[in-house]
Amino acid sequence: MNLSNETTPQCFSINNPPFIYNHTIASSYFSIVFSPLGLTFNLIAFVVLLKSFQRTHSRSRSSFLVFLCGLVVTDFMGLLVTGIIVITFHFTQFNWRRLDPHCHFCNFMGMSMVFYGLCPLLLGATMAVERFVGINRPFARSTSMPKSRAVSIVLMVWAVAGCISLLPLVGVGSYHMQIPGSWCFFNISSKASDMVFCLLFSLVGLLSIAVSFLLNTVSVVTLVKVCCGQDGTQRRRDYEVEMMVQLIWIMMIATICWCPLLIYSLKGAVYGKPVEPDFMLLGLRMATFNQLCDPWVYILCQESRLRRVKTANVYSAPYLYSPHIALGCGSSGPHP
């Protein structure tokens, strides 16, 4: 048996650094520019959501904001953890084999990629289920979901994604160095254990997107049917519509950004085709854009709502202080 194969750690057994790969898609400028931008966007979104959370008095909206905060924290931590590793590599060009002879560092990054990749998809599906129940089955629960239960559900989603990311450490799949040497991810192949993990990761992600699409579509149809109800419930419906708009945008962004990588992983596992670094990196770049675009959904929706409130106040002020209205509401005298 070849001695070099015996001494090569598992994470370097397929792709062994250093690599000579100068394709544009592997440019270091992408990570150096977009990681700090994404962190800034998510930090702004978190502040916006906290302010909105402090102002809201609706239980259903409070639980929805808890889910959104969980999504923002996930995106922020994902960019922070993976971005530090990737940017450090591009600046220092450290030797992975020398730094990580037992693959602990590579396994950690692979786990981070899987965990922070699945969490937004699972949270999106969870929010779709919560809104579906709240809109289509309002009497299925006596009261709206309390904040503590929403926090528990977010923690449960994180636990599920964490358990999936740990599977390669117990033999279901494996994490390997990926070209151009700045990141680690699970091995995409038709080998039994690798195929099981590839199918699990891809199908969980695609199923989460499918559940979000189906339930959000039903919820939107229901809202459209009741949008012309009595004025007494208009304020609550405004909140419902606002939450659904945010959820639809989150679903669309996740679908566009994640489907290429998920489908590529699924096809690679089923058909056993060798991994093409260009497609893998392109899929990774697109998935990263999900963490960059999500914060703007919360920021822009919040700004739009504040603008509507200001506009409503401007138009309602003359009406409230009109002497004719004052007579009509509180005077017992004759009316013209």
- Is 184:109 a contact under the CB 8 Å cutoff? yes
Q: What is the pLDDT of residues 107-128, one digit of tens each?
A: 999 999 999 999 999 999 999 9
Query: What confidence score (pLDDT) does residue 164 get?
Result: 95
Could you tell me which of 159, 116, 167 has the C-alpha nearest to residue 288?
A: 116
Q: What is the CA radius of gyration of the chain?
A: 25
Q: How many CB atoms lie within 10 A of CB 317?
A: 10
180: preceding bond cis by omega (within 30 degrees): yes
**Rounded Cα distance, 181 and 81, in Å:** 17
One CATH from 1.10.3720.10, 3.40.1410.10, 1.20.1070.10, 3.40.50.300 for 29-309: 1.20.1070.10
**Rounded Cα distance, 257 and 205, in Å:** 12
Mean pLDDT, rounded, of the chain: 78
Pair of tokens at residue 55: 């102002």
Query: What confidence score (pLDDT) does residue 138 get?
Result: 60
Q: What is the pLDDT of residues 64-113, one digit of tens each?
A: 888 989 999 999 999 999 989 888 887 887 778 888 888 888 899 999 99
**Rounded Cα distance, 303 and 160, in Å:** 34
- pLDDT interval class at 181 (50, 70, 90): confident
Query: In Å, how far are 6, 11, 74, 147 from 296, measured between CA atoms?
Result: 49, 36, 15, 24
- pLDDT interval class at 302 (50, 70, 90): low
**Rounded Cα distance, 335 and 323, in Å:** 12
Angle between helices 147-166 and 59-92 (to 10 degrees): 30
**Rounded Cα distance, 296 and 314, in Å:** 27
How does DSSP assign 201-232, residue by residue? HHHHHHHHHHHHHHHHHHHHHHHHHHTT--GG
Look at the chain and count its residues.
Answer: 336
Q: Is the pLDDT of residue 327 over 70?
A: no
Helices (H), the chain: 3-7, 28-55, 59-92, 96-99, 104-136, 147-166, 192-226, 234-271, 277-320, 323-330
CA-based torsion, 98, 103, 104, 106: positive or negative: positive
Domain ranges of the chain: 29-309
**Rounded Cα distance, 228 and 230, in Å:** 7
Half-sphere exposure of 35 (CA within 13 A, CB side): 18
Q: What is the pTM of this model?
A: 0.82
**Rounded Cα distance, 311 and 302, in Å:** 14
56-65, 129-138, 156-165, 287-296: range with lowest mean pLDDT = 56-65
Could you tell me which of 251, 180, 176 has the C-alpha nearest to residue 30?
A: 180
